[in-house]
A and B are shown apart, each in its own frame.
Chain A
């Protein structure tokens, strides 16, 4: 967590775009076009660089997605969050695996759970879901797979009282 004030180079570059959040981390809100450039600056060009990528995830705000990158510099306890809003129709970002190799798995999870396309990812397989899964589960409009032979719920478990009245068990 960052206890000090915002350092001068970040304050100069981002001016109003950088704020300090309640937990002490610095938040930078950028547009989708500037996202890759900002991350490259923070992770590689800035001295000292934010060399630890903590997490990448997406948030579904209904009409937009927001992609959040948590970066940190463990030696000096600095932490920064880079947020960027994307359109819901064709959300896409560029990969940052060339800056931080550990971005590979969070980006795969974001691709399979939200459908945010990550351009240039070296290994775009599903991370947690089985192959060929249809739909993006963490979106707010995801439909439960009620027609799947294994994953669907049935009357016996949903309303056991009524089911047992209609199908009484013979002793």
Chain B
């Protein structure tokens, strides 16, 4: 019973708090929270990332997916195409030449989608922050990021911790929220490719 109570409190409390703020009727709150629990459990237990492994952090991501640290037990299967995935793990250094490709792949992912910035280069440009003219100083200059995982490279345990935090974030969402993130549209990062 204690276990069930603690599990309930994990998921219900934030949803009820949000519903109270929206001043929904108690019946609607009850209904929405039950639907949210089911839907969010489904979403969280099967996050399929498109592995955007660019540099050394890709090795750590692969190591996390491999036998010792195993991502499959969380329902996480790496997908090769953004069209089939929920999450984009940006693992590695993003350069100015790669950035429009990254933005295009982000827009090709269907909603709901989340982004994890893995490693110092994706978080802030990392070791290339001071002097590299061609490195994007943090992938959040191009796309919105949900989870930041620092490290150079972060250990597999750190990536697992970040993915579990993503689970918490997913479980805290609600179907009553706006499904589309505000203000994200193609071209918002200010990039204009030559010739278009």
Are the CB atoms of A150 and B97 closer together than 8 Å? no
Interface of B is mostly: loop
For the complex with contacts A130-B96, A132-B194, A150-B137, 13 further pairs of A-B residues with Cβ separation under 8 Å are A129-B134, A130-B97, A131-B194, A133-B96, A137-B134, A142-B133, A150-B96, A150-B99, A150-B142, A151-B134, A152-B137, A157-B125, A157-B137
Instruction: Knowing A137-B133, A144-B133, A157-B124, say if A151 contacts B96 (CB, 8 Å).
Output: yes
Q: How far is the CA of A125 from the CA of B51 in the complex (A)?
A: 30
- The interface centre, meaning the residue of B96, B142, B190 with most chain A CB atoms within 10 A of its CB, is B96
Sort chain A's interface into a size bin.
10 to 19
Interface of A is mostly: loop
Are the CB atoms of B129 and A145 closer together than 8 Å? no
CB neighbours (8 Å) of A145 from chain B are: 133
Q: Which residues of A contact B (CB under 8 A)?
A: 128-133, 137, 142, 144-145, 148-154, 157
A-B contact pairs, 28 of them (CB 8 A): A128-B97, A128-B134, A129-B96, A129-B97, A130-B96, A131-B193, A131-B194, A133-B96, A137-B133, A137-B134, A144-B133, A148-B96, A149-B141, A149-B190, A150-B99, A150-B137, A150-B141, A151-B96, A151-B133, A151-B135, A151-B136, A151-B137, A152-B137, A153-B129, A153-B130, A153-B137, A157-B124, A157-B129
Residue of B nearest to A128 (CB): B97
Q: How far is the CA of A157 from the CA of B194 in the complex (A)?
A: 30
Q: How far is the CA of A144 from the CA of B193 in the complex (A)?
A: 21
> B189: CB under 8 A from chain A?
yes
Q: How far is the CA of A69 from the CA of B169 in the complex (A)?
A: 57
Whole-angstrom distance from the CB of A29 to the nearest CB of chain B? 32
Q: How far is the CA of A93 from the CA of B99 in the complex (A)?
A: 33
Q: How far is the CA of A157 from the CA of B135 in the complex (A)?
A: 15
CB neighbours (8 Å) of B97 from chain A are: 128-130
